[in-house]
Amino acid sequence: MAKSKGKTTFIDRLGGDKVVWTIMLFLCMISLVSLFSATSQLASESNTRLNIVKDQVITIAMGLFFVFLCYRVNSIKLFKALARWGFALSLALLAFVDLHIKLPLVSAASINDAWRVIKVFGFQVHVLEVVKVAMVMYLAWAIDRLQNGEFKLLDRLSNINRLEFLGNKIWQEIICVILPSLIIVVASLPASNSSALFLAGIMFLTMLLGRINFFHIVLTGLFCGVMLAGCFGLYKLSSGLQHNDPDAKVLFRRIGTGVSRVLDKSIDYEEIIRTADKGSKEYQTALDRIRQPYGAKIAIKEGGLFGKGPGRSTQKYKVPVIYEDYIFSFIIEEYGLLFGGLIIFILYLSLLARGSIIARNCNDHFAKCAVAGLCMLITAQAMMHITVNCDIGVLTGQTLPLISYGTSAFVCFSIAFGIILSISRMAEKNVEKERLEAAPLIELQEDTQDELRNSLNDLDQLDSMDI
């Protein structure tokens, strides 16, 4: 292949999609700079802001380690072998927190009255962040198997009397793709309504891109709605029983929380704060309800186009955990819409655009679904975080990928980036060929045209990879 003139740099030797590498590194740098100022609330005599930044540096280093670990994988078969266990891993983790299991070294724990965390040797693992990545990978594996007719176990079982239906592709689709998705959505409800619905949407899009029958996906969505209605009915029934028996357990409590967040829009909390006594419980409840969304909107308004400048945010002292669920509004307050918000928006949309190019140039169906699903997961979560910060969507806690404070979410999204980069490295020949074959905006000089033709010929001569 024709070599470019000049010295070869580390970036030139680095495989994988350069745009994705750039996006990931930019997000890490934004995270480090932003959290240095945003974590003032965490600082104390024993835990200075410098220590907090050191913790984030360790988190970023850990994330980059997992990125390189996944990036160095040279065979798509290894990803397939691991992805097949995604559903089992997700179900086991969700069952652990849903059943409130507590063991000596590993135990389930609750945050904000919701059981969604597993403590392992003192470290907190947010289960739903792991489930998001694991289920996207599992669906990519299952859809690939379905398309290639490689469910050997079901094919063997179909030879047994009365189990012939297992050899039917529709039943294989139901058993291996649709049913696991429904189970995970229901199992996620006790931990978080918004995450369960968000995960359902990502899995829906992954199935759609994987060419699962659209009619079957719609039926799955309707069935999912029926199950949600049934879960809400169980919540109402169990909460009614608790009035007579205080010790009675309320089922699917988070559904009640989610419904109240939607219906409480009719309550004028501003009026309550203006009229109620400041020391009253009613006043404090109303203040707690609007502190985060209103503080985030104030931060965005005060930031304007150009921002207040680094370290000059005031809402970080008023909005709880602004460094997690409201980091986007904080960035706009300090750096403005132009130099903060717009850059972040472009980075995530660029990831989605590059993901579509990488997926289009993958010859393996599993790789296509994995890249498309992971890019959609990262971008969609970022968009959800942004809409919540702008008070457009229903209040819910979703981190901004690779920017918000938090170890487990950062590591999970780092793994997702590593998988994308690994697959892009294996598909690099096809991506480079598409770039070189793209129609130029202006007519090239003759020597440049010759160099372009030589590059294309060199690409055609490369041995094809397993992706």
pLDDT band at residue 457, thresholds of 50, 70 and 90? Answer: low
Confidence at residue 61, expressed as pLDDT on a 0 to 100 scale: 94
Is the model more confident about 156 or about 88? 88
pLDDT(3) > 50: no
Confidence at residue 4, expressed as pLDDT on a 0 to 100 scale: 47
Cα gap 164→154, rounded to integer Å: 9
Cβ pair 238, 248 in contact under 8 A? yes
What is the percent of the chain with per-residue pLDDT over 70, rounded to a whole number? 71
Amino acid of residue 61: A
Cα gap 119→123, rounded to integer Å: 5
Round the average pLDDT of the chain to a whole number and report it. 79
pLDDT band at residue 370, thresholds of 50, 70 and 90? Answer: very high
Phi, psi of 102 (to 5 degrees): -130, 120
Any bridge partners for residue 111, and if so which? Answer: 114
Confidence at residue 165, expressed as pLDDT on a 0 to 100 scale: 74
Is the model more confident about 405 or about 122? 405
Cβ pair 300, 390 in contact under 8 A? yes
pLDDT band at residue 1, thresholds of 50, 70 and 90? Answer: very low
Least confident of 3-12, 70-79, 384-393: 3-12
Amino acid of residue 109: A
What is the percent of the chain with per-residue pLDDT over 90, rounded to a whole number? 25
Confidence at residue 8, expressed as pLDDT on a 0 to 100 scale: 59
Give the contacts of 432 (CB within 8 A, at least 6 positions apart): 459
* Structural tokens at position 219: 């039926």
Mean pLDDT of 350-358: 92
Least confident of 208-212, 232-236, 377-381: 232-236
Cα gap 78→71, rounded to integer Å: 12
Least confident of 145-149, 152-156, 239-243: 239-243
Mean pLDDT of 230-254: 62
Cα gap 335→34, rounded to integer Å: 10
Cα gap 193→200, rounded to integer Å: 11
Smallest CA-to-CA distance from 94 within 7, 195, 231 is with: 195
Smallest CA-to-CA distance from 333 within 42, 34, 43, 53 is with: 34
Least confident of 134-148, 217-231, 405-419: 217-231
Mean pLDDT of 37-47: 58
Any bridge partners for residue 96, and if so which? Answer: none
The per-residue pLDDT for range 229-239, each reduced to its tens digit, is 776 676 666 66
* Structural tokens at position 465: 């990879």
pLDDT(344) > 80: yes
The per-residue pLDDT for range 282-322, each reduced to its tens digit, is 666 666 667 777 777 888 888 888 888 887 887 777 776 77
* Structural tokens at position 393: 């969507």
Q: What is the 3-state secondary structure (H, E, C) of 35-56?
A: HHHHHHHHCCCCCCHHHHHHHH
The per-residue pLDDT for range 395-452, each reduced to its tens digit, is 666 889 999 888 889 999 999 999 999 999 887 766 666 666 665 555 555 656 666 5
Cα gap 28→21, rounded to integer Å: 11
Is the model more confident about 192 or about 244? 192
Mean pLDDT of 118-138: 90
Is the model more confident about 426 or about 61? 61
Cα gap 107→463, rounded to integer Å: 50
Confidence at residue 350, expressed as pLDDT on a 0 to 100 scale: 94
